[in-house]
Structure 1
Amino acid sequence: MGTTPTATTVLLSCIVVLLGCGALWIRHWLAGQQRQRLEQLQQANVSLEARAQELAHQMTAAQRQADIKRAAMMETAEVNFFEIDVATNTRRFADAFLHLGGRQRLPLQSCCFTPAEWRERVHPDDADGMQAALDDYINGVVPHYEAQYRMRADENEWRWVISRARVVEWTVDQRPMRLYGTLIDIHQHRLNEIALDEERQMLTTGPVVMARVRLTRDSPRFVYVSSNVATLWGYQPDTLLALPSSLDIVHPDDLLALKDDFWRAMKNEEDRP
């Protein structure tokens, strides 16, 4: 004999059914939200990948442009860039050749040089000074690194160069770790300096006395004489500068002819437009 369900039982059954349907709906809704979120993430990932590729392309293009500009600058300005690893004292150049004066390009067998390999390229008389200047900068003795030395261009030629660098990377204890710098050919400039020094040396210690005389209507006077006048003429420079007239040291037999030359020079100066 069956029993008739009460209203409470029916109500509970309905509630259970409703809860089950609600749970199914919630599960379905959550699954839909998850699929939607996954699609959004996938779209965002595609967008990010596309943006990353675009940025990579832009960076590559920018790097190419930077390389082109750097190469043009190095060639036109004849500048060579290098970096130094302080721990190993290894020197690495940016290109496979060095730009030298007169648009010369010196091929390098390797862009990277050990201390011994680079020292072989430096003139024996300059190698110690070059390394000492670098050590002084790294150790904080001097605030800047700069060295002028002769570098081997080929088997028969040494060329003067100037090298400058600064620290661009430090260790955790603030010791220099990496330097970045430039190397420039100054060969012709250095030869000119040497020639001027030799001329200056000749004028101060050689067989030629340099003198400057101020021409006046009364009498010419010394305003400058080179220091070697004491050796060659037997006069101290101050003695000659104190003379009332530079003609006071001229032999009497030559004085008249010299005065004629002097007055002729004065007249030519006055007649000059």
Structure 2
Amino acid sequence: MVTPSAKPQDVFAADALHSAQTFMRLLDAAPLGMLVSTLDGMVVYANPAFSDLLGHRPEPGHVFQFADLVSDETNTTTRLHFERLLRGEVSVSRGEHQLRHADGYPVWAMVGATILPADGDTPPLILVQMNSIELQKRAEEALAASESRWNFALESARQGVWDHDIRTDTMFYSRMWRLMRGIPADEAVDGDQAKWLERVHPDDRPRLMANVHRQDRGDSDYDSLEYRERTRDGDYIWILSRGRPVEWDAQGTPIRTIGTDTDITHLKLMEQELAAEKERLRITLEAVADGMISTDLDGRIIFMNPAAEILTGSNAATTVGQTASDVFRLRSERGEEKLPCPVRTCLAQSTQIRIDDDSVLCALDGPRRDIRATASPVFDAAGTLTGAVLVFQDVTQSRALQRQLAHSASHDDLTGLPNRASFERALSAAIVSARHGPREHSLVYLDLDRFKPVNDTAGHAAGDALLKQVAQTIRGVCRSHDLAARIGGDEFAIVLEDCSIAHGREVADKIVRAIGALAFSWAGRDYSIGASAGVTIIGAQPASPLGFMGEADAACYAAKAQGRGCVVAYPEMAAS
């Protein structure tokens, strides 16, 4: 685990958790019954007010659907309302529905629903709010028998009542309607529409003027209107105005509409806070430099942030719905081998999958980037796997630096050949392979002849240039899998894998002759150098107490004693 300062995705995770906690606190505190369900109607959350309303108290592991709450009498109407919402014909569905109490009896409720779009690792959900209208229903049923009882019931439910006589264009307002707006109960109210519109928030007037007549004529899509109205103290409250025609003339034209107003300011404040939280989350995701992709249980993309679009070379608008493996295409750093998508592995194993090395992301628009990625499973409150989130970073520059540092640590800065440390590792590996298997290798120790005069006469710059030329010559004679290293000032050593002593001597002789044939000029002057080499065989055990390196060094010393510019094999030297 890394610190938040080093991992921006941890900052995102903390913000997401805080947002979720805030969301849950708001829903838990809501005075209206609140449900959150999946698009297929499976309830994933219910607040305390819902339990108080219908008597259902969901327990962990207990799953039920919204359809289970609807009474048989209004099942068809309720289903049609929600189908229109799911088809996108309306953004908000509101209507009166008869629900089933846990004890079996029906409960009338005003039910409002809206779709919460997919956000981050959360799929689209339906937010349902419900408010008991049992008192209102009972009052409506008793209206003909007792006007006073009807008014009392509505006031008990804190519903402000209005009655619009379309024929005379006059309005009746109940006492609660007045109190809601801070108007004294005994004060007469001018029902003129212009007077009412003066109290309506200027931003809401055009919408109301366009739709209020539809409410009067009984249009079911506009039986509920929301708007802001100024109270006597100068503040604005949100009003949910529900109404429908109750009288018609002989031609079927509505002539009287009755409705109720409800103060929904607290609900609107909640919506605003949730919207602000969602916006903060959106800004956070867009600001994160790491690529982030969220998928569903099938590995299909439901969210992609701008950084992920850039790194994958794709567009979120067109890739949502595609599988993550279609967009997040990995190849091996050492070849073109296709690597499995970490999201698929994460979902299959229900565990976090990390990719740190040997991974290249092939963007759809062409570029290839070294990548580091983490795919983490996403579980719901019940512990059920619901999808995965993939976080990945472009580490091309850091890996290039790592390769550069690794190369510098194992290679000679001047010649580019492996250094003494690399040579010793290769020699140790060759010794182990010869000791545990029927393999033999050759070891060549080479020392330059007449190199010191070049340094003393032409200077170190000339000596460096000559050493580079010698290194290229040695490398050109050796096979690709042989290791030729510079182990000292003008000393070189070569490990020839799976090479007999006879063949090793031939290779050493070629190197010595190639170095002796070098034409090196510096500042208008020609220099001639040579080389002496000693060769020994790397077998199960050294031929002498000198060890393999000591044997090759001794053979090289013998070559110099024989007049330089030649090769001596240790077995021959030891035999003589």
State the TM-score bracket (shorter-chain normalisation).
0.5 to 0.7
Q: TM-score, normalised by structure 2?
A: 0.27
The correspondence for 2:178, drawn from 81, 84, 98, is: 98
Compared CA separation, residues 117 and 208, structure 1 to 2 (3 A)? same
**Which secondary structure does the structure 1 equivalent of 2:275 belong to?**
helix
Give the Cα separation in 2 of the matches to 1:213 and 1:226: 5
Give 2:249's aligned residue: 171
- What is the correspondence of 1:63-82 to structure 2 with a 5 Å cutoff? 63=146, 67=148, 70-75=151-156, 77-82=157-162
2:291 equivalent to 1:208: no
What is the CA distance between 1:128 and its match in structure 2? 2.4
Give the Cα separation in 2 of the matches to 1:69 and 1:136: 26
Question: What are the ranges of 5 or more consecutive residues in structure 1 without an aligned counterpart?
Answer: 1-61, 215-220, 263-268
Give 1:115's aligned residue: 193
Compared CA separation, residues 96 and 70, structure 1 to 2 (3 A)? closer
Q: TM-score, normalised by structure 1?
A: 0.52
2:274 equivalent to 1:193: no
Give the Cα separation in 2 of the matches to 1:111 and 1:156: 17
Give the Cα separation in 2 of the matches to 1:249 and 1:166: 64
Structure 2 letter corresponding to 1:173:
Q
- Is the contact made by 2:216 and 2:257 (CA closer than 8 Å) also made in structure 1? no
2:167 equivalent to 1:87: yes
Give the Cα separation in 2 of the matches to 1:171 and 1:249: 77
Moved over 4 A (4+): 139-144, 209-214, 221-225, 235-240, 246-250, 252-255
Identity of aligned pairs, percent? Answer: 22
Give 1:241's aligned residue: 324
2:209 equivalent to 1:131: yes
Give the Cα separation in 1 of the matches to 2:217 and 2:356: 59
**Which secondary structure does the structure 2 equivalent of 1:107 belong to?**
coil
Give the Cα separation in 2 of the matches to 1:171 and 1:73: 27
Compared CA separation, residues 80 and 97, structure 1 to 2 (3 A)? closer
Which of the two has greater helix per residue?
1
Give 2:448's aligned residue: none
**Which secondary structure does the structure 2 equivalent of 1:184 belong to?**
strand
Question: What are the ranges of 5 or more consecutive residues in structure 2 without an aligned counterpart?
Answer: 1-144, 329-340, 344-353, 360-369, 377-382, 384-576
**Which secondary structure does the structure 1 equivalent of 2:247 belong to?**
strand
- Is the contact made by 2:238 and 2:268 (CA closer than 8 Å) also made in structure 1? yes
Give the Cα separation in 2 of the matches to 1:173 and 1:213: 57
Give the Cα separation in 2 of the matches to 1:249 and 1:99: 66
**Which secondary structure does the structure 1 equivalent of 2:175 belong to?**
coil
- Is the contact made by 2:200 and 2:227 (CA closer than 8 Å) also made in structure 1? yes
2:306 equivalent to 1:230: yes
**Which secondary structure does the structure 1 equivalent of 2:277 belong to?**
helix
| Aligned Cα root-mean-square deviation (Å) | 4.3
Structure 1 letter corresponding to 2:285:
V
> 1:241-270: per-residue Cα shift (whole Å, max 9, x none)?
3342265599x9996xx98xx8xxxxxx9x
- Is the contact made by 1:171 and 1:177 (CA closer than 8 Å) also made in structure 2? yes
What is the CA distance between 1:158 and its match in structure 2? 0.6
- Is the contact made by 2:161 and 2:261 (CA closer than 8 Å) also made in structure 1? yes
Compared CA separation, residues 233 and 125, structure 1 to 2 (3 A)? same
**Which secondary structure does the structure 1 equivalent of 2:229 belong to?**
strand
2:238 equivalent to 1:160: yes
Compared CA separation, residues 241 and 88, structure 1 to 2 (3 A)? farther
**Which secondary structure does the structure 2 equivalent of 1:161 belong to?**
strand
Which of the two has greater strand per residue?
2
Give 1:33's aligned residue: none
Greater RCO structure (CA 8 Å; 6+ sep): 1
Give the Cα separation in 2 of the matches to 1:241 and 1:146: 42
What is the CA distance between 1:114 and its match in structure 2? 1.0
Compared CA separation, residues 230 and 117, structure 1 to 2 (3 A)? same
Give the Cα separation in 2 of the matches to 1:232 and 1:106: 56
- Is the contact made by 1:84 and 1:91 (CA closer than 8 Å) also made in structure 2? yes
What is the CA distance between 1:88 and its match in structure 2? 4.4
Give the Cα separation in 2 of the matches to 1:130 and 1:231: 42
